[in-house]
Amino acid sequence: MIICPFCQTPHVDNTLFCDECGTYLLDEETRDTFPLLEEDTPEILGAQKNTPNTEKASAKPHAHIPPTVILSLDTPKKQLEITLEKTIYLGRLDPTANIYPEIDFTDINGLEQGISRQHARLLFKEGQLYIEDLGSINGTVLNGHRLMAYLPEPLNDGDSLVLGRLKIAVSVVP
């Protein structure tokens, strides 16, 4: 049984999206696949087993320190400083639907700005910062291109975002 983290609706295992609010339900860890290493490739598939590369075998993944992201809002003039130690959700507060985004645009007329309750999210994975639209009604625009829903796109220093009609300048401090 999977419980939606936003609206608490129960779903059967392996459900991708919440029927009530549209949130992606699978854990972030299960979204990616990892390449099969040469030494793990079965010989029955006709793969040639090479001598193990000691350089690859000794390389250990290093921890990436999450960056600090500064979101500079256009109207009203306001700056938000965020450290991405976890996924940060952007949207509007809705206590009746149990929606509590980390970055709440309700107080800056988020509804009038066209920001959905669950508009987008910022995540830091494998050393890269990403923005993902969560199926918002008015969309998310990154550097002039509208994002596809539920498809994370890299977010870099100097990028411009538009959530609904709210313009945001992005600064990334490593």
* Contacts (Cβ under 8 Å, ≥6 apart) of 24: 16, 17, 134, 150
pLDDT at 112: 94
- Better-predicted residue by pLDDT, 74 or 136: 136
Q: Quick one: pLDDT band at residue 18, thresholds 50, 70, 90?
A: confident
CATH architecture label of 68-173: Sandwich (2.60)
pLDDT, residue 35, reads 61
pLDDT of residue 41: 53
